[in-house]
Homo-oligomer: A and B are copies of this chain.
Amino acid sequence: MFVSDQQPASDDPSMRHDVRNMLATALLAADLLSAHADPAVRRQAETIIAAIESATARLKGQRK
């Protein structure tokens, strides 16, 4: 109940923009880690970058 109290994020035209901005910060940090000397760090960084890029594409309305 009280549904109108909580604005659904999907109806908020600025939501996708806000989320993409936040993810840009994470992507920058992951990019820095993707050049790290430790290959394990580079591997995790690549996982993070791929996941964020998929999420960003999905936010743009593209099917994965």
Contact = CB atoms under 8 A, between A and B. Distances in A.
Contacts of A58: 9, 15, 18-19, 22
The size bracket of the interface on A is 35 or more
A54 B6 CA distance: 18
Interface string A52-64: 1011001111001
A19 B45 CA distance: 18
A41 B51 CA distance: 18
A10 B13 contact: yes
A29 B50 CA distance: 11
Given A26-B26, A33-B41, A36-B41, 4 more contacts: A10-B16, A29-B44, A33-B45, A36-B38
